[in-house]
Homo-oligomer: A and B are copies of this chain.
Amino acid sequence: MTQRGLLIVLSGPSGVGKGTVRKAIFEEEGVDFQYSISATTRQPRPGEVDGVDYFFISEEEFKNKINNGDMLEYAQYVNNYYGTPKSFIDQTLDSGRDVFLEIEVQGALQVKSKMPEGIYIFLTPPNLTNLRERLVGRGTDSQEVINKRVDAAREELKMMINYDYAVENDEVSKAVERIKAIITAERLRVGRVVEKTF
Protein backbone atom coordinates (compact mmCIF):
# COMPACT_ATOMS: atom_id res chain seq x y z
CA MET A 1 0.00 0.00 0.00
CA THR A 2 1.30 3.44 -0.91
CA GLN A 3 1.61 5.71 2.07
CA ARG A 4 -0.31 8.96 1.67
CA GLY A 5 1.86 12.02 1.12
CA LEU A 6 2.08 14.99 3.45
CA LEU A 7 0.18 18.22 2.89
CA ILE A 8 2.53 21.07 3.79
CA VAL A 9 0.94 24.51 4.07
CA LEU A 10 3.16 27.59 4.23
CA SER A 11 1.41 30.78 5.23
CA GLY A 12 2.02 34.03 7.08
CA PRO A 13 1.31 37.75 7.00
CA SER A 14 1.58 39.54 3.66
CA GLY A 15 5.05 40.78 2.85
CA VAL A 16 6.75 38.19 5.05
CA GLY A 17 8.43 36.47 2.13
CA LYS A 18 6.33 33.33 1.63
CA GLY A 19 6.94 33.24 -2.12
CA THR A 20 10.70 33.66 -1.79
CA VAL A 21 10.96 30.90 0.81
CA ARG A 22 8.75 28.59 -1.22
CA LYS A 23 10.87 29.11 -4.35
CA ALA A 24 14.05 28.43 -2.37
CA ILE A 25 12.57 25.18 -0.99
CA PHE A 26 11.67 23.98 -4.47
CA GLU A 27 15.25 24.65 -5.60
CA GLU A 28 16.66 22.40 -2.85
CA GLU A 29 18.19 19.14 -3.91
CA GLY A 30 16.09 16.10 -3.15
CA VAL A 31 12.87 18.08 -2.74
CA ASP A 32 10.06 16.54 -4.76
CA PHE A 33 6.89 18.26 -3.66
CA GLN A 34 3.96 18.80 -5.92
CA TYR A 35 3.10 22.47 -5.82
CA SER A 36 -0.61 22.94 -5.22
CA ILE A 37 -2.03 24.39 -8.42
CA SER A 38 -4.82 26.94 -8.08
CA ALA A 39 -7.92 27.07 -10.21
CA THR A 40 -9.02 30.39 -11.73
CA THR A 41 -11.71 31.75 -14.01
CA ARG A 42 -9.46 34.41 -15.52
CA GLN A 43 -8.06 34.03 -19.01
CA PRO A 44 -4.58 32.52 -19.38
CA ARG A 45 -1.88 35.08 -20.07
CA PRO A 46 0.56 34.41 -22.91
CA GLY A 47 2.84 31.54 -21.93
CA GLU A 48 0.67 30.28 -19.07
CA VAL A 49 -0.13 26.58 -19.30
CA ASP A 50 -3.32 24.92 -18.04
CA GLY A 51 -2.53 22.41 -15.27
CA VAL A 52 0.90 23.99 -14.69
CA ASP A 53 0.39 27.66 -13.82
CA TYR A 54 -3.30 27.31 -13.05
CA PHE A 55 -6.26 25.15 -13.82
CA PHE A 56 -8.13 27.49 -16.13
CA ILE A 57 -11.83 26.77 -15.77
CA SER A 58 -15.12 28.49 -16.53
CA GLU A 59 -17.11 30.40 -13.95
CA GLU A 60 -19.81 27.72 -14.14
CA GLU A 61 -17.29 24.98 -13.48
CA PHE A 62 -15.78 26.99 -10.62
CA LYS A 63 -19.18 27.49 -8.99
CA ASN A 64 -19.95 23.78 -9.39
CA LYS A 65 -16.72 22.97 -7.59
CA ILE A 66 -17.67 25.33 -4.77
CA ASN A 67 -21.06 23.65 -4.46
CA ASN A 68 -19.52 20.15 -4.59
CA GLY A 69 -17.14 21.04 -1.77
CA ASP A 70 -14.15 20.73 -4.11
CA MET A 71 -12.77 24.20 -3.28
CA LEU A 72 -10.70 24.09 -0.11
CA GLU A 73 -10.76 27.87 -0.21
CA TYR A 74 -11.55 30.50 -2.80
CA ALA A 75 -11.76 34.25 -3.25
CA GLN A 76 -12.93 36.69 -5.91
CA TYR A 77 -10.65 39.43 -7.24
CA VAL A 78 -11.67 41.84 -10.04
CA ASN A 79 -14.51 39.64 -11.26
CA ASN A 80 -12.36 36.50 -11.35
CA TYR A 81 -12.40 33.55 -9.01
CA TYR A 82 -9.26 31.94 -7.59
CA GLY A 83 -9.30 28.82 -5.47
CA THR A 84 -7.60 25.63 -4.34
CA PRO A 85 -9.20 22.46 -5.73
CA LYS A 86 -9.33 19.65 -3.20
CA SER A 87 -9.50 16.78 -5.71
CA PHE A 88 -6.07 17.59 -7.19
CA ILE A 89 -4.48 17.65 -3.74
CA ASP A 90 -6.23 14.45 -2.66
CA GLN A 91 -5.17 12.56 -5.78
CA THR A 92 -1.57 13.71 -5.42
CA LEU A 93 -1.44 12.74 -1.72
CA ASP A 94 -3.02 9.37 -2.48
CA SER A 95 -0.28 8.69 -5.03
CA GLY A 96 2.21 9.05 -2.15
CA ARG A 97 3.55 12.42 -3.19
CA ASP A 98 3.76 15.40 -0.82
CA VAL A 99 1.89 18.58 -1.72
CA PHE A 100 3.17 22.05 -0.91
CA LEU A 101 0.68 24.89 -0.65
CA GLU A 102 1.73 28.51 -0.22
CA ILE A 103 -1.24 30.65 0.76
CA GLU A 104 -2.27 33.77 2.69
CA VAL A 105 -3.64 33.49 6.20
CA GLN A 106 -7.37 33.58 5.49
CA GLY A 107 -7.04 30.85 2.87
CA ALA A 108 -4.84 28.71 5.11
CA LEU A 109 -7.45 28.71 7.87
CA GLN A 110 -10.13 27.63 5.40
CA VAL A 111 -7.89 24.82 4.14
CA LYS A 112 -7.16 23.73 7.69
CA SER A 113 -10.83 23.43 8.53
CA LYS A 114 -11.16 20.93 5.66
CA MET A 115 -7.78 19.18 5.83
CA PRO A 116 -6.66 19.28 9.47
CA GLU A 117 -4.16 16.46 8.80
CA GLY A 118 -1.89 18.94 7.00
CA ILE A 119 1.23 20.49 8.50
CA TYR A 120 0.55 24.20 8.99
CA ILE A 121 3.63 26.42 9.06
CA PHE A 122 3.43 30.13 9.86
CA LEU A 123 6.27 32.25 8.51
CA THR A 124 6.98 35.18 10.82
CA PRO A 125 8.87 38.41 10.20
CA PRO A 126 12.30 38.51 11.83
CA ASN A 127 12.85 39.95 15.25
CA LEU A 128 9.44 39.43 16.77
CA THR A 129 10.95 37.71 19.78
CA ASN A 130 11.45 40.10 22.65
CA LEU A 131 10.33 43.00 20.43
CA ARG A 132 9.55 45.30 23.36
CA GLU A 133 12.91 44.77 25.06
CA ARG A 134 14.72 45.56 21.84
CA LEU A 135 12.67 48.67 21.09
CA VAL A 136 13.17 49.94 24.62
CA GLY A 137 16.87 49.09 24.46
CA ARG A 138 17.28 51.00 21.20
CA GLY A 139 16.09 54.12 23.00
CA THR A 140 14.88 55.87 19.84
CA ASP A 141 11.11 55.38 20.12
CA SER A 142 8.59 56.92 22.48
CA GLN A 143 6.68 54.67 24.84
CA GLU A 144 3.60 55.28 22.70
CA VAL A 145 5.31 54.19 19.48
CA ILE A 146 6.71 51.13 21.22
CA ASN A 147 3.27 50.18 22.54
CA LYS A 148 1.78 50.56 19.08
CA ARG A 149 4.43 48.40 17.45
CA VAL A 150 4.11 45.70 20.09
CA ASP A 151 0.31 45.75 19.77
CA ALA A 152 0.57 45.43 15.99
CA ALA A 153 2.96 42.49 16.32
CA ARG A 154 0.66 40.91 18.86
CA GLU A 155 -2.31 41.15 16.49
CA GLU A 156 -0.27 39.58 13.73
CA LEU A 157 0.87 36.78 15.96
CA LYS A 158 -2.63 35.97 17.12
CA MET A 159 -2.98 34.30 13.74
CA MET A 160 -0.02 32.10 14.59
CA ILE A 161 -1.81 30.03 17.20
CA ASN A 162 -3.86 28.31 14.50
CA TYR A 163 -0.71 26.78 13.06
CA ASP A 164 1.48 23.85 14.07
CA TYR A 165 4.85 25.52 13.61
CA ALA A 166 6.22 29.07 13.49
CA VAL A 167 9.32 29.72 11.41
CA GLU A 168 11.15 33.03 11.55
CA ASN A 169 12.16 34.39 8.16
CA ASP A 170 15.32 36.14 9.30
CA GLU A 171 17.29 34.61 6.42
CA VAL A 172 15.74 32.65 3.58
CA SER A 173 18.32 29.84 3.83
CA LYS A 174 17.67 29.47 7.57
CA ALA A 175 13.90 29.47 7.08
CA VAL A 176 14.34 26.76 4.43
CA GLU A 177 16.48 24.62 6.78
CA ARG A 178 13.85 24.96 9.52
CA ILE A 179 11.04 23.95 7.20
CA LYS A 180 13.05 20.96 5.98
CA ALA A 181 13.64 19.89 9.59
CA ILE A 182 9.90 20.13 10.29
CA ILE A 183 9.11 17.93 7.30
CA THR A 184 11.80 15.39 8.27
CA ALA A 185 10.41 15.26 11.80
CA GLU A 186 6.81 14.93 10.66
CA ARG A 187 7.76 11.93 8.52
CA LEU A 188 9.17 10.30 11.67
CA ARG A 189 5.98 10.69 13.71
CA VAL A 190 5.14 7.29 15.10
CA GLY A 191 1.70 7.17 13.49
CA ARG A 192 3.25 7.55 10.04
CA VAL A 193 6.08 5.09 10.70
CA VAL A 194 3.73 2.40 12.03
CA GLU A 195 1.52 2.83 8.95
CA LYS A 196 4.56 2.33 6.71
CA THR A 197 5.90 -0.65 8.64
CA PHE A 198 2.93 -3.00 8.51
Contact = CB atoms under 8 A, between A and B. Distances in A.
Interface of A: 122, 124, 128-131, 154, 157, 160-161, 163-167, 177-178, 180-182, 184-186, 188-190, 193-194, 196-198
Identical chains bound together, number: 2
- Max count, chain B CB within 10 A of own CB: residue among A124, A157, A181: A181
A116 to B, nearest CB: 15
Contacts of A166: 188-190, 193-194
Contacts of A128: 197
Contacts of A188: 165-167, 178, 181-182
A109 to B, nearest CB: 14
Interface of A is mostly: helix
A68 B184 CA distance: 40
Contacts of A131: 197
A157 B185 CA distance: 19
B160 A189 contact: no
Contact of A190 (B163, B186, B197): B163
B194 A165 contact: no
A197 B165 contact: no
A108 to B, nearest CB: 13
Contacts of A186: 185
Contact of A193 (B160, B180, B194, B196): B160
Given A128-B197, A184-B185, A185-B181, A190 B122 contact: yes
Contacts of A161: 190, 194
Given A184-B181, A184-B185, A194 B164 contact: no
Nearest to A188: B165
A72 B198 CA distance: 33
B154 A198 contact: yes
Contacts of A160: 190, 193-194
